[in-house]
Chain A
Amino acid sequence: MRMRRHNSGAHDSSHGIDLAPMLDFVLNLLIFFIITAIFVKEFGLEVDRPTSFESSNSEGKSIQIQILDTGEIFIDNRVVDVRAVRANVERMKALAPDSAVVIFADNDAQTGVIVGVVDQIRMAGVYDITFTTSG
């Protein structure tokens, strides 16, 4: 009896579900996600490492570039400036269209030089770049 009266009273005072607790919860979730959202934009270049199968050089056709620890760049046993790498790679690509580029860097070569060379190779239109080091 008392139960029924209580029920009817509750029914009178609020129509439908009370949204306030849900709204509180959703707002908390929202604040959490706004705070934890990190908008990091990382820019990068894709570079491969040779696998043990590729290192036997089975494909044959590849443009080889050496980078010394002094920062000198060698293509075809000639010293080449960083800015001239693009032209050289373009020329060699014209001779052998689907060739990949292999960069042989000295252990102490600087990353900045390597990335600069990779950038030039990509500008020449070759995106299949492999990077190895040698002591």
Chain B
Amino acid sequence: MKTHRFSEESEDHGIDLAPMLDFVLNLLIFFIITTSFIKESGVTVVKPDASTAEHRESGNILVAIRENGEIWMDRRRIDMREVRTVIERLHIERPDDTVVIVADKSSHAQILAEVMDNVRSGGITDISVAAAPAGG
């Protein structure tokens, strides 16, 4: 007992950091992988309910359409004519991004259609319309 303690003490001074380092590196890798760099729109809108809404795994460019027809992307208000150029720029940065249009319940269909067309001409064809899953 006595000899064992003595030999341990002489071998390494302080705590062994290796297991902690392993753990921290694993955590780090987990967070790097799960980070998805979502481009948030910057406004909150009332989403329509839909019971068949499915989770969009890779939907990471959010375009919000407010009740009064304002379009918000990347935390600022943009004009309808800007949508295409902004989408083109984001598409070049990360080519596998998809777009989720978060349209307010009482926004008009014409604006939704125009935004969808502009996103498509910007190069991203995978577009979905956001909805709140009804009934949990």
- Give the B-binding residues of A (Cβ under 8 A): 19-20, 22-23, 26-27, 29-30, 33-34, 36-38, 40-47, 49, 67, 105-112, 114-116, 118-119, 122-123, 131-133, 135
A27–chain B nearest beta-carbon distance, Å: 6
Contact with A along B6-37 (1 / 0, CB 8 A): 00000000000110110011011001101110
Count A-B contacts at CB 8 Å.
141
Give B49-72 interface residues, CB cut-off 8 Å to A.
Answer: 49-56, 59, 62, 65
Interface of B is mostly: mixed
Within the assembled complex, what's the spacing in Å between the Cα atoms of A132 and B50? 20
Task: Provide the residues of chain A in CB contact with B88, threshold 8 Å.
Answer: none
Contact A26 to B24, CB < 8 A, known contacts A47-B129, A133-B113: yes
Say which one of B75-83, B89-97, B98-106 lies at the interface with A.
Answer: B98-106
Number of B residues with CB within 8 Å of any CB on chain A: 49
B51 and A119 contact, CB distance less than 8 A: yes
- Give the A-binding residues of B (Cβ under 8 A): 17-18, 20-21, 24-25, 27-28, 31-32, 34-36, 38, 40, 48-56, 59, 62, 65, 100, 102-110, 112-113, 116-117, 120, 127-133
